[in-house]
Amino acid sequence: MKSKVNIPPITAVLLSIISVQCGAAIAKGLFPQIGAAATASLRIGLSAVILLIAFRPNPFKLNAKQWKYVTLYGVCLGVMNMIFYMAIARIPVGLGVTLEFVGPLALAIFGSKKAIDFIWVILAAAGIILITPWTGTGLNITGILLALLAGVFWASYIILGGRISKIMNGGDAVAIGMVFATLVILPFGIWGGGLSILTPKLLGLGAALALLSSAIPFTLEMKALKQIPARTFSILMSLEPAMASFAALIFLQEYLTLKECFAVAFVVIASAGSALTAKRAKL
């Protein structure tokens, strides 16, 4: 069944962020049991099944251009998620989310055309700098590099999502893209052995993870990308590190320091400013 719900683009992005962070709490519980690769495979694979049932896309109606972009979109989606899960298996989730955001932030900087956009970018960057644990020992350099690489694919995902949303239905694009994403990461999940020890409980958690971390947010993001510029979308996504901190507080009882509270404030102001600028531009 095709979705008829009309969600404003700014609201869609915010709901997407909340959904992803709720899913992250579930993923944290699956990591020790089946590993990062199997968790990523379970998340993307079940998301593909859910979205195919929900949207029932007809692949035979796609033209060559649509096939090209939906394939690139799906591969990018799969690689991005796999690399990010590999990163947070080595470093804290909050740090991973923060470093991954370097990709969308760079996209926002390079895509800016109005002076006011740089104010929001600077504020978002200040928040990221504050929330990143620059001091301390034991940080895994491989995890840090993987998180930064995931950021590159995140920026690519934003660009591809913006383009594909203009040439085909968003739900169909996400559903078919998820199939290609599954084909990319499933071999890693099988090779890691985590998928061979699944229980009904773990499968249920995987289904919830698929809905919250992939099926719901990616569909919402596709709707948003069809109505707002990639630059505005990127700045709005600066809420990710802040929401990750709030999720840690709610689900893991990890309290924020004063410095981290300032970081959250900067990011929220940047996101709100971006939303106001986008609204004003349409008036």
At 21-36, the pLDDT tens digits run: 888 777 877 888 888 8
- DSSP, res 255: P
The tens digit of pLDDT for each residue in 204-234 reads: 888 888 888 877 887 788 788 778 776 677 6
Cα distance between residue 147 and residue 93, in whole Å:
10
Q: What is the pLDDT of residues 92-122, one digit of tens each?
A: 777 788 788 878 777 767 766 677 777 877 8
Which is more confident, 159 or 255?
159
Q: For residue 81, which of 55, 45, 110 has the smallest C-alpha distance?
A: 45
Q: Calculate the alpha carbon distances from 79 to 175, 223, 232 in Å.
A: 16, 22, 24
| C-alpha to C-alpha distance for 181 and 213, rounded to whole angstroms | 14
| Residue 182 · residue 78 · CB < 8 Å | yes
Alpha-carbon gap, residue 214 to 186, rounded angstroms: 15
Q: For the segment 70-86, what is each residue's pLDDT rounded down to a tens digit?
A: 999 999 999 998 999 88
Task: Report the predicted TM-score, pTM, of the whole model to 2 decimal places.
Answer: 0.79
At residue 281, the pLDDT reads 46
Owner of token pair 């998340």: 43
- Any alpha helices (H) in the chain, and if so which ranges? 9-34, 36-55, 64-88, 93-100, 102-111, 115-131, 141-164, 170-192, 200-210, 216-225, 230-236, 239-252, 258-282
Burial class (CB in 10 A: 0-12, 13-18, 19+), 159: middle
The sign one gets for the Cα dihedral 151, 156, 159, 161 is negative
**3-state secondary structure at position 45:** helix
C-beta of residue 171 within 8 angstroms of C-beta of residue 108: no
The rounded distance, in Å, linking the Cα atoms of 73 and 153 is 10
Cβ neighbours, 10 Å, residue 112: 16
